Structure 1
Amino acid sequence: MDNQIKTAAEAAESDALPRCHEVHSDPDQPKASAENLPKSVKAEPVAKKSAAQWAYERTVLYLKNFEEQLDNEHEVAMGFTGGDAGVLRIEGMGYFDPDIVTFYGTDPTGGRTQLVQHVSQLSVMLRALPKAKEGSKPNRIGFRLVEDLEKSQEAVS
């Protein structure tokens, strides 16, 4: 705790800002952080967001951070926990207020796949898979999702 005196506005802003903390065994490991959140995510106070929107925005941050660590031969995918559902190569993501998050993609056989999940059950294991198409550029959905968040904020402003 610091001994800094804050104005009421600074205290309210501090309470509205998201907090994120990570520690890794490798100190050079890139971390997801609240500082890396797109301006559009920081612009709206957390208290005004639905559970679905807030879960979506933070998952986008983790996706982008994960992709930044991949080489050009791998793409992000999502592993399912429990059961024998397998892996979904993430090709899209969305949310439906107030409490649903959805992932779109393909399974390892190329079959279209969609996961619709309540935010209270959200559990995403990010995985690196070899690119779906050899010789092509890797699909970077996290970067496109962040770009979309930024465009959404510009449209509101």
Structure 2
Amino acid sequence: MSGTQDKIETSVEYAEADVLPRCHEIHSDPDARARCLEERSAALRQEPIARKSPAEWAYERLILYIQNFEETLDNEHEIAMGFTGAEAGVMRIEGMGYFDPDIITFYGSDPTGTKTQQIQHVSQLNVILRALPKQVEEAAPTRIGFRLAQALEQDDAQGD
């Protein structure tokens, strides 16, 4: 053995590991950091996946993707979302929610500042995260991912 010890899992640990969220990614740059950040998914593990609606489950994972994407941005850019296969264009993300059992809602504004709301069934969820230059009048870029994750953690704490 190479200095590591194999861990023997009980049948319960094995079964739990089988239903926990998993994330895997590979990048063309061998030095690129994987953006999955499974340690962030602790909040996702608070409630068994089987008890979550498709909308809640999609919402929670989108929060992780948004946070990870925002970490790659400089102070001159904010996150925006494009909806693939639609003529809706790009939306600056200002809010996100879900309506059980199967609806995800995005709130924001388009590049001209027009208030926008996208309502999508989870089976049609197909979005692109984009970096847009931040709005000039704002001192710092808006980071929605942090607020979304904070709300998710508060919801989990209240559920205990």
Choose 1 or 2 for highest CA Rg. Answer: 2
Deviates more, 1:39-48 or 1:52-61: 39-48
| Contact 1:51–1:119 (Cα < 8 Å) also in 2 | yes
Residues 1:109 and 2:112 aligned together: yes
Q: Deviations over 1:99-124 (max 9, x none)?
A: 00010000011010000000000011
| Contact 2:81–2:93 (Cα < 8 Å) also in 1 | yes
Q: Secondary structure at the match of 2:66?
A: helix
What's the counterpart of residue 32 of structure 1?
36
What's the counterpart of residue 24 of structure 2?
21
Aligned residues: 154
Q: Secondary structure at the match of 2:98?
A: strand
The runs of at least 4 consecutive aligned structure 1 residues that moved more than 3 Å come to none
Percent sequence identity over aligned pairs: 60
Cα distance in 1 for residues equivalent to 2:140 and 2:86: 32
Cα distance in 2 for residues equivalent to 1:53 and 1:35: 19
Q: Secondary structure at the match of 2:88?
A: coil
Counterpart AA for 1:151: Q
Distance change in 2, residues 1:116/1:83 (3 Å) = closer
What's the counterpart of residue 58 of structure 2?
55
Higher relative contact order (CA 8 A, sep 6+): 1
TM normalised by structure 2 equals 0.90
TM normalised by structure 1 equals 0.91
Q: Deviations over 1:68-116 (max 9, x none)?
A: 0000000000012224321000000000010000100000110100000
Q: Secondary structure at the match of 2:119?
A: strand
